[in-house]
């Protein structure tokens, strides 16, 4: 059995061997606890018929656990300095492919066709760079990739927002965008001490599982997200005030907005954070003909 990469001693050895220094701008925090890695991978329910997509493999700590559990791993690494490190640390695993690029700039659908066509079951499993967690998640969802779900580590505060329920402080347009596509749950909270260097914040792993049917059926998904984002522009304001200022010509169409809200049984004086996804869906459909 290959010695785990993710121990403090082995991580130090690898970094020293390559003279690697952490780049704050890339949000590099490497995991140094094999148990946590095994736990993350177990939440993904992988088999040798599954493929895994990883973002930011670092020195390959999580990658090797994914390689052991799945049929194929495709990992995106933006930092050129890590390519020779990964080539070395992952040399025992033939089912890993590292792509040197920024996931936000890649045509991921094309990569699916080129590299993952043989796999019906694909999961995203990653310790995401904290400064771009939200854009990465939204890109993977908006690209409508054929994935079963994701098991991803992020800042605990972002995990709380993604998994939040209506009426809570953490609930917002991000909760709605992600919960529209996926069932979201916190799988585990992760202490700072298992990272090198230690981040300033606590982390959490969330598990996202694709809905077979979205929680609400809407005319236009993008318009649903536009309405939900617009409803949270200023959290303390009522939904009518927020929609007036966020929808095109909203001030002139105030009566239409009020009428639409009332038609779907939403009191215009409620705040956005009290509305469920279903309510946002009904409201978006009611508003759609007037703003298109």
Q: pLDDT of 145-172, one tens digit each?
A: 999 999 999 999 999 999 999 999 999 9
Give dist(CA 173, CA 231) in Å, integer.
8
Chain segment 71-87, per-residue pLDDT in tens:
999 999 998 989 999 99
Nearest residue to 34 via CA among 7, 66, 68, 73: 7
Q: Is 56 flagged in the annotation as binding?
A: yes
Q: What does the domain layout of the chain look like in residue ranges? A: 8-210, 221-291
Enumerate the β-bridge partners of residue 184: 208
Q: Which two tokens stand for residue 208?
A: 């996202």
Q: Which of 81, 82, 38, 78 is nearest to 59 (CA)?
A: 82
Do 15 and 96 touch, CB atoms closer than 8 A? no
Matching residue, tokens 């998994």? 163
Q: Is 265 annotated as a binding residue?
A: no
Lowest mean pLDDT among 66-70, 85-89, 129-133: 129-133
Residues near 258 by Cβ (< 8 Å), separated by ≥ 6?
240, 268
Are the folds of 8-210 and 221-291 the same? no
Residue whose pair of structure tokens reads 């990272």 in the numeric block: 195
pLDDT, tens digit, 9 for 90 and up, residues 1-17: 567 888 888 888 988 89
135, 144, 125: which is closest to 104 by C-alpha?
A: 135
**Residues with Cβ within 8 Å of residue 144, at least 6 apart in sequence:** none
Whether the bond into 197 is cis, omega within 30 of 0: yes
**pLDDT by residue (tens digit) across 227-284?**
999 999 998 899 999 999 999 998 999 999 999 999 999 999 999 999 999 999 999 9
Interval 208-218 mean pLDDT: 94
Q: What superfamily does domain 8-210 belong to in CATH?
A: Vaccinia Virus protein VP39 (3.40.50.150)
Strands (E), the chain: 30-31, 50-55, 72-76, 96-99, 121-127, 149-155, 182-190, 195-196, 203-210
Predicted structure pTM score: 0.92
**Structure-model confidence comparison of residues 257 and 199, the more confident one:** 257
Contact 282, 264 (CB under 8 A): yes
- Report, at the CATH architecture level, how domain 221-291 is classified: Orthogonal Bundle (1.10)
């Amino acid at each position: 059995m290959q010695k785990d990469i993710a121990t403090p001693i082995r991580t130090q050895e690898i970094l020293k061997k390559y003279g690697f220094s952490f780049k704050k701008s890339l949000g590099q925090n490497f995991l140094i606890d094999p148990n946590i890695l095994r736990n993350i991978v177990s939440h993904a329910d992988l088999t040798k018929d599954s493929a895994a997509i990883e973002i930011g493999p670092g020195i390959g700590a999580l990658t090797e656990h994914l390689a052991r559990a799945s049929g194929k791993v495709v990992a995106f690494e933006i930092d050129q300095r890590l390519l020779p490190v990964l080539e070395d640390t992952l040399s025992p695993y033939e089912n890993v492919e590292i792509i040197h690029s920024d996931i936000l700039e890649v045509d991921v659908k094309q990569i699916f066709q080129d590299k993952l066509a043989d796999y019906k079951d694909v999961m995203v499993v990653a310790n995401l760079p904290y400064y771009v967690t939200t854009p990465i998640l939204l890109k993977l969802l908006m690209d409508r990739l054929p994935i079963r779900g994701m098991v991803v580590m992020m800042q605990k505060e972002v995990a709380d927002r993604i998994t939040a329920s209506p009426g809570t402080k953490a609930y917002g347009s991000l909760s709605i965008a992600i919960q529209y596509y996926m069932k979201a749950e916190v799988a585990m909270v992760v202490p700072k001490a298992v990272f090198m260097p230690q981040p300033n914040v606590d982390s959490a792993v969330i598990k996202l599982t694709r809905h077979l049917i979205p929680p609400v059926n809407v005319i236009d998904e993008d318009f649903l997200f536009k309405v939900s984002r617009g409803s949270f522009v200023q959290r303390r304001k009522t939904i009518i005030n927020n929609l007036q200022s966020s929808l095109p010509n909203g001030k002139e169409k105030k009566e239409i907005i009020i009428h639409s809200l009332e038609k779907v049984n939403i009191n215009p004086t409620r705040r956005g954070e009290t509305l469920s996804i279903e309510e946002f869906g009904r409201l978006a459909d009611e508003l759609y003909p007037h703003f298109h």
